[in-house]
């Protein structure tokens, strides 16, 4: 498979995020439906946090110096990448939001502001996915790269829903276009970078950046669930969102990725 073909498929894996974004265009949803959609989106983000943190933590554990493998020279940079990435992802989003999105930090982010924050966190996660695609292709593992592209493309559909669900009825087509670019575009960029540059520290850094930003986004979404008109329905949506995202990930694992 040629480089242009791999890049094109990396692009396809990224733009599938647009399949879930039109939910934001639902007009005047009932409050109970809005609450349910918020809960499903929160469940998806909970899984993404679990996914990126477990993946990055696994890389740190593998680099841990033991009698059989690992060394301080590899362990310390990977560990620092994890800790710095979480810190920058969390604090950076806080500072960006306060400076550019809203003046009063005591108020909840509203409308597209919240959607763009979710898209930013997902975008950093998708950059690391793109790296995995590019690295697999660069090492000649074309079948693995193809499986990753299909799996990540399926996974990105749920991420698009995670971005748009909290905004149902309040987003424009301009938001859909830009949020998709922020959230899905990094998959293509990561594929291009991964084909020419392989570095474990950078991979862990972007995973942990995503983890830090998702922590902050979840801190904004959880109070919305507490105000849900029917708490049982909201909790069911939370579980459903986690199960949907987890299910797409299991498909990827079962395929051999």
Q: What is the pLDDT along the chain (257 residues), one digit of tens a residue?
A: 677 878 887 888 888 888 888 877 777 777 788 788 888 888 888 998 898 888 889 888 888 877 566 677 788 999 999 999 999 888 887 776 676 555 455 555 556 777 888 888 888 888 888 887 787 777 666 666 666 677 677 777 778 878 887 776 667 788 889 989 998 898 899 888 888 877 888 888 888 888 888 888 888 788 878 777 788 888 999 999 899 888 878 876 776 65
Query: What total of structural domains would you count in the chain?
Result: 1
Q: What was the pLDDT predicted at 95?
A: 77
Q: What was the pLDDT predicted at 256?
A: 60
Q: Alpha carbon 187 to chain centroid distance?
A: 10
Q: In sequence order, what are the residues at sequence separation of 6 or more whose Cβ sits closer than 8 angstroms to the Cβ of residue 34?
A: 168, 169
Domain with 198 in it: 3-254
State the residue for tokens 């424009």.
Answer: 172
- What angle is formed at CA 41 by the lines to CA 40 and CA 45, rounded to 5 degrees? 115
Calpha distance 13→148 (Å, rounded):
9
pTM of the shown model: 0.76
* Helix extents (H) in the chain: 3-15, 31-63, 72-96, 111-138, 142-164, 173-196, 200-226, 231-254
Q: What was the pLDDT predicted at 103?
A: 47
Q: What was the pLDDT predicted at 144?
A: 61
């Amino acid at each position: 498979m040629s480089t242009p073909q791999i890049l094109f498929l990396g692009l396809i894996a990224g733009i599938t995020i647009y399949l879930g974004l039109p939910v934001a265009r639902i007009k005047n949803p009932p409050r109970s439906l809005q609450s349910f959609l918020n809960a499903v989106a929160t469940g998806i983000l909970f899984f993404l946090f679990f996914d990126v943190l477990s993946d990055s933590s696994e890389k740190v554990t593998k680099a841990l110096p033991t009698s059989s493998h690992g060394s301080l020279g590899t362990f310390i940079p990977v560990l620092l990448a994890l800790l710095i990435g979480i810190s920058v992802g969390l604090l950076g989003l806080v500072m960006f939001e306060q400076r550019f999105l809203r003046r009063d930090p005591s108020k909840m982010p509203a409308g597209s502001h919240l959607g763009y924050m979710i898209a930013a966190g997902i975008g950093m996660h998708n950059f690391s996915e793109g790296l995995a695609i590019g690295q697999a292709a660069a090492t000649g593992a074309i079948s693995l790269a193809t499986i990753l592209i299909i799996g990540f493309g399926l996974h990105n559909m749920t991420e698009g829903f995670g971005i748009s669900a909290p905004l149902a009825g309040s987003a424009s087509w301009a938001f859909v276009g830009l949020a998709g670019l922020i959230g899905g575009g990094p998959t293509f960029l990561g594929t291009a970078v991964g084909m020419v540059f392989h570095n474990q520290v950078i991979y862990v850094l972007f995973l942990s950046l995503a983890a830090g930003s998702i922590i902050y986004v979840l801190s904004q979404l959880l109070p919305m669930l507490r105000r849900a008109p029917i708490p049982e329905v909201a909790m069911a949506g939370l579980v459903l969102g986690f199960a949907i995202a987890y299910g797409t990930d299991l498909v990827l694992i079962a395929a051999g990725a």
